[in-house]
Each structure stands twice: as C-alpha cells, then as structure tokens.
Structure 1
C-alpha cells in the first residue's frame, strides 16, 4: 500500500493531485535535470535520495532487484532479463532511461508502461513529500530523483516480484543505487562522458562498480582483468565474468535476430534465438542469461529461454520500414555507432544509397562518431545533420562540417522530423535511411514516423 501522503497545511497548502499529466510534467520539469544539462558530479551523494524514499515508506525494500550499468547495452540487457523473468512467472517492473517517446516508458510492469493518471497521482504525492522535506531543511530533489522515486513506489504498489533497474548516467552516486540488488550487471566500459585522459577506464569502472554490493552477485561483460580487479574490490558475493565463468560460444545472424550458444556455470544453452539485430546483442543476451540464471540459482529451460525470441527494444537497431529500409538506433557514442554500423554492413544488403540522419549531444565529438561509423565498413552516401529539441543538442551545422571534413556529402536540416522527411524524399525502395546519434534524435524520429504513419 502507498503510505499516507504528507499533508500540506498553512496558506501555501496545495492539493496532492495534479489535474493532468501535463501539469504534473510542468511541475517536474521545474527541477534540475542532469540529463538535460552537463551537471557537476563533484560532491554527489545519494543521502537525499534515501531521505526521499524514507518519506515514501522505503518502497525499494519490498522487492529484489537486478541493477544494471555500463556504457552501452543497459537497455537491451534489462529488456532481456525482464523477458526471462516474465517467462519464469514473475511480475516484473522495469525502470529505464532516458525514454524514447514518452516519460511513461521509463517505468513498466509486465511490459506495460504506467498510465497517465497513475503517474500524475504519484507525482502529486511527491510534490507534497518534497514540500515537507524542503520545509525541514532538506535539499530540493532533482528531476531524475523524483522520477526514480515514482518508479520505485509504483513497483511496490504493484507488488512486483522483481525490479530490473537501469542506472541513469553514473553508478555509485546514481539515484538508482538504493535498490535491493541481488544481482548487479556491468555490461561494458566505454569512452563516454569522459575526457579520455590516461586512467579513464579505471576511473569509470570505479564509479560503475559502486553498484556491486556485498552479498550480491556481480555479472560483468567482456573487460580487461585490471577492470575486473576493481569490481572485485567491492566484495560482491559472487563474480561472473564474460569469457571466464560464462561465455558466448557462438553468435550468428538469423532471420530477424541472432542465434547464440552460451556456456554458464550451470549449463550450456545451444541455438537460443534472440530477436535483436547485431553481434553486440549476442553478448548482451549471454550477459542476461548469466544474470538471470544466477538470480534464480537454477538452469533455465527452453520455455524460459524462448522468451528471448520475442524481445523488442525501441530504437535499438529498430527496423521501422523495409522499402526503403529505415532503421532507428539511439547510438549515442562511438562504440554504439560502430555497433549499429557493423550491424548494417553485416546483416543487411542495400542495393541503393545509404543516408544517415544524425543528431547528437554537444558533449560528443562528431568526427569521432562518424569515424567509428566509417571504421565499421558501413556505407555512407549522405549525412543529413539535425539537432534534437534538447538543451545539450549539437548544432546540425557541426555534424555537417564533420561529415564534409571526412569527404562525405552532407546537408543540414535542423529539425529531426524535417531531416527524416528530407532523407525519405531522396530515397527509393532500394535505399536505406539510418537515423541515429542520440536517443533524443531516435525518439523524435519515432514520434514523427508514427504520427505520419510511415
């Protein structure tokens, strides 16, 4: 049950409920949003988040969690673990970020996002709790802290058996690092949100390893032994590392996805079908299998593994059209763009031209992003640079300048929807349009194509 709301009193008292989700969002958007600004990570603490949850009745204590961090692959691993858990018979809540189209997507139970009315109610409750905490001298919560608290409270109200929780940007000091994690996953360590100075990998790993709590199983994707040693310093209950305790033995393309063979401490799973494109998804699936197998402490049967053949993750090499081929992928760093590009080159035969619609954040190096694309072997006949409607968006002209600097034909169309229309207008049935660079770009494109019924 949801705890009794804190009652606002006095001349400034306000009702708990918002009349609509739009009004709740307006209130929420008045808070500091570290997803929309660069932010200063110095001096961060999760103590205010713990105080906020205590005022909500500590809902995170009501269910076990699988906690997931890493530079890339978090969303896919979360979706795959949730699918396995659902097939096992569990009621599963999933918390992910950022959303692709609507804020409701960030929290789902049984695959269904929270509805507008319930989310507005939760945010109304949080408004009263915030007023109470601030009146007592506490800090004002951030946008992400409030949304995370809403999700964790909703999962308790829904009485989920398991929460699968994706870290926002950090790890040790992320607002999500309050969950009751029985398994914690670090998918990989890549050069994102770093300055690239010597030792950056160890520094990033040190932050992400902060989600590995004593007693919990730690599951690590492929990484060097020195990074594994940093994880081990957190003293998790068990350490499972890709290539050691579990291994992706085979990973090959199949119609609509991959066929993989995975060895784990308990079994060898042959020819498991995964309905996601790209060789990187084979490793994500292996990591998900190892994590869920450890959670239930049993070998998984075919009926459970079969759930991996029905997983769909929006904006992760999502094919939305075939003639022309149109793919939406939220790759937001060089490693992600390299994976998307390799998937196109390896798994799709495009007879005509390939146009890339690219919009990214200002903390990205457009030359490095386009360089990763080129190194993959994927073709690029034209770049249409754009800028998603987000405070940290990189101007479209800078994307175009980087493309032209690499000898690629390019043009700027600032608005994402207009950029997509421009690319489609130039395409025939034998061509391909790849929309990428950021989940914000992917979300805007997805919304536009759904509205236009394309």
Structure 2
C-alpha cells in the first residue's frame, strides 16, 4: 500500500466504522445530489442477503462481461486491500484510481459533513463515503452496469441510492443481530428493503420459513415481478467434479444443461442460479434465454477468492471466509462433499461480534483437532479467550490448540494434518474474512485479479 493510499484509507477509517449502521440515507443522498447523481448514469443490480452475496456478484459480473458489457462491482469487506471494493471490468481499480475517487468525493463530503454536524447529526460514515467513491468511479469509467453488493442489511444501506433494474436476495440467516434485529423475520425485513416496484426480484430459496414469508409479502405489496428459486427458477442437477461441478439450471427464460462451474460446493450452484436469472432479467427482460456458449465461458472461469478456495496442496489447505453459523454449515457440507480427508484440522479465528460458540459447534463434528488463533483485526477475539470457548465446545482439551501467532498457527495445523505420516490430511481455515485474507497473504497467494 503506497503512502498516499495509506493516508486516504486512514482518513476513511476515522469515520464511523463499517459495522455500524446510521439509519438515515439523507447524507449519502445529499452527497450524490451535489455530485450530480453519478449513480443514475448506468444500469444497476443490487444484491443483499446473509451469505453468498460476494460470489453471486462475481458470477453475475463475469456473465455480463462475457455479454460485452462494461461492468462496475462493489463488494465488501475486502480481503487484502480496500481497492478491491471497487472493481471495473472484473479487476479492482488501481491505487491511483482509488485515491482519485476519494479526492473526487472530498469537497462534496465536506459540505455534507458540515451540514449534518450543524443539524446535530454525524459525518458521512466510512461505508457511505466508499459507496460514493464507487458510484463516482463507475460514472468516470464509464460502465454500462453496476453490480452492487450491500454492506449491512438493505433498507438503510448506503448502496440504496441506486434505483436498481434487478434486485437479488441470497439466503438469509442470523448475523449482525445488533443492527438488523434478533429474529430471522426482522433481518429479512431489512434485507427486503432492496426490493422495489420497478426492479425484477430474484429470490433465493430460504432455509428459514420466516424469511421466505417476509420476502413474498414484500413482493406482493410492491406488485413487483419476481423469480423465486424452486418455483420459477431452480438448480435441476449438479455433479461434483475436480475443480468444480457440472450443473443444469432452469432460469427465468431458459434451461441450461451441463454447465461447468469452477467453484466448489452446492451453495455455489445456487449462487450461480441467482446470477444467471439476474443476467436474464437485465439482458433480455427475463424473456430471452442467454447464449449457452456465453454462459459456458463465464461460469467455467469465474473465481471467488476466500470462498471454499484451495490455497495449497500436500496437505490441502481449504480457506473459507465463513463467519456466521449458516456459513459454517455450508462449509462443512462442502468439505464433506468434495474431500476425503483422513484427518481434518481446523484453523479458526473469529471476530468479537460473531457467534463464536455456534460457529465452533458447527465445525466441531468435522474436525479431529482445531488450532485457535487470531487475525490482526482489532475486533478479533483474543486466541486464549476463543480457545476457552473451543474447549467447552469440543469437550476435550487435547483437541484444542492455540497460538496468537498466525504463522505459527498455520504450521501447527499443517503438522497436525501430516501427523504420523498421514498424506491425506487437510486443513480447513474459517471464522472471519480477515483471517482468510491473512492466511492467503502468508501463503504467498496473489491478490484478487
């Protein structure tokens, strides 16, 4: 990170933190108005949900690029560098572009900050400022369509200043309860805030009935066009394979047979379905099937760093950003489907506001042993505290090791996987996005392409 980028990012971090919602869109609307509403200069697709947003966004963007459109993409949080949050044509903008976007917003942000503070409010938050930067960068490129991942929730999320052509809701589970509500129904109500009367809705099947009910009621109230998974659209077949899976999908407008998807796990097939349906809605108003060769090219080459990603062989190290119980459940299912480890070692670090006990309880049946560690995030649960929780969950102190040093923790996990000459052991890294990012760094993997 250059000194200039470090300076800009430090200024962003001085604002209200990303994991705090200010339930008021007036600041972001005002700054966009002052800038001439750049977000209205291109079409957009907005994506909300608890899990699967980032991968769905990446698959969708890949399809749209294959169709010849110039794309913008926002995702959060980032793995390695904040520039990853703003991508154009599938690649993060460079540091100079990120800094320029910050400077483009700066004079307008100062006006809004002063107006808000004078009225007893707060400055633009970190996420609001980043959102304004992304929308400005997309207009400057310019892009044809923006694929926008919400930050937290939907109703009050700063990304909501776009008027989307398509709105996608992935699976909903418990996460960020301190901001979104304590029940599935309350959280679904916040996520459903991205749905509008004019946007075609693409809705994932919901593991929780309350979430499905809330989304269906919102669609009825809005009178919006909608494609529900397992009704209008669906995953018809899937066969796990080396480096991915073969899938057959029923989209809104067509049926697509035997597509190779270069991602592991049943959940990724469902993410691909949502992306295909959203692309159909945008490109052909849901009435024209997508070209099969286009889909084949897009799905066979898509990547999603930090999501069920094999980052090393001998022993296999599988890295996933699962940071809530439902994400952990999905990870367990993916490991069991795709790997035949004779010994499975966990490497786990969790942030303070997460349900660490339930994440560990979900992973426990999969793991022979777990190495507890911590990332460099100031929100990381200290390793000794998380290890105490793990000992209670695993009910066997011998299965739980701890290390505050992440390099040492990785080595411990690898040694355990290879204990007694075992050549089919594996390491599963999970618990937080920051942990996933730092393990990738330490193993020398390249940043996102």
Shared fold per TM-score greater than 0.5: yes
SS at structure 1 position matched to 2:104: helix
Is residue 59 of structure 2 the alignment partner of residue 80 of structure 1? Answer: yes
Corresponding residue number in structure 2 for 1:13: none
Q: For residues 172 and 134 of structure 1, do their structure 2 counterparts lie closer, same or farther at Cα, with a shift above 3 Å needed?
A: same
* Displacement after TM superposition at 1:19 (Å): 7.0
Q: What does 1:58-207 align with in structure 2 at a 5 Å threshold?
A: 58-137=37-116, 139-194=122-177, 200-207=183-190
Tell me if 1:417 matches 2:407: yes
Corresponding residue to 2:444 among 422, 446, 450: 450
Question: Following the alignment from structure 1 to structure 2, what is the Cα–Cα distance between the partners of residues 246 and 257?
Answer: 21
2: distance between equivalents of 1:360 and 1:174? 24
Residue 330 in structure 1 maps to residue 321 in structure 2:
yes
8 Å Cα contact 1:205-1:231 kept in structure 2: no
Q: Which residue is equivalent to 2:307?
A: 316
Paired position in structure 2 for 1:220: 203
SS of equivalent residue, structure 1 residue 176: helix
Q: Give 1:222 shift.
A: 0.3
Q: TM-score scaled by structure 2?
A: 0.90
* Residues 91/234 of structure 1: CA separation in 2 closer, same or farther (3 Å cut): farther
- Cα deviation digits, residues 144-167 of structure 1 (max 9, x gap): 111111111001101111100000
SS at match of 1:34: coil
Whether contact under 8 Å (1:95, 1:165) holds in the other structure is yes
Deviation at 1:452, TM superposition (A): 11
- Which among 394, 401, 405 is matched to residue 388 of structure 2? 401
Distance 1:211 1:421, change over 3 A: same
Deviation at 1:293, TM superposition (A): 0.8
Unaligned ranges ≥5, structure 1: 1-17
TM-score calculated relative to the size of structure 1: 0.89
Aligned mates of 1:127, 1:255 — CA distance in 2: 48
Cα distance in 2 for partners of 1:172, 1:204 equals: 10
1:77-104 CA deviation, whole Å, 9 max, x = no partner? Answer: 0011001101111111110000011111
**CA-to-partner distance for each residue in 1:101-156, whole Å, 9 max, x for gaps?**
11111111111111111211221233322223334455411111111111110011
Shift of 1:218: 0.7
State the secondary structure of the residue aligned to 2:78: coil
**Structure 2 Cα separation of the partners of residues 340 and 359 of structure 1:** 15
Matched residues in 2 for 1:452 and 1:278: separation?
Answer: 23
1:300 matched to which residue of 2? 290
Deviation at 1:199, TM superposition (A): 7.7
Following superposition of structure 1 onto structure 2, how do residues 351-390 of structure 1 map, counting pairs within 5 Å? 351=342, 353-374=343-364, 378=366, 380-390=367-377
Distance 1:99 1:256 in 2: 24
Which residues of structure 2 form unaligned runs of 5+? none
Instruction: Name the one with the larger helix percent.
Output: 2
Please report how far the alpha carbon of residue 173 of structure 1 lies from its aligned counterpart in structure 2 after TM superposition.
0.2
Match of 2:330 in 1: 339
2:14 to 27, 30, 44: 30
Partner of 1:256: 243
1:246 is aligned to 2:246: no
Q: Residues 221 and 451 (structure 1 numbering): CA distance in 2 closer, same or farther, change over 3 Å? A: closer
Does the CA contact (< 8 Å) of 1:209 and 1:230 recur in 2? no
2:424 paired residue among 420, 430, 436: 430
Match of 2:261 among 274, 288, 297: 274
Moved more, 22-31 or 190-199: 190-199
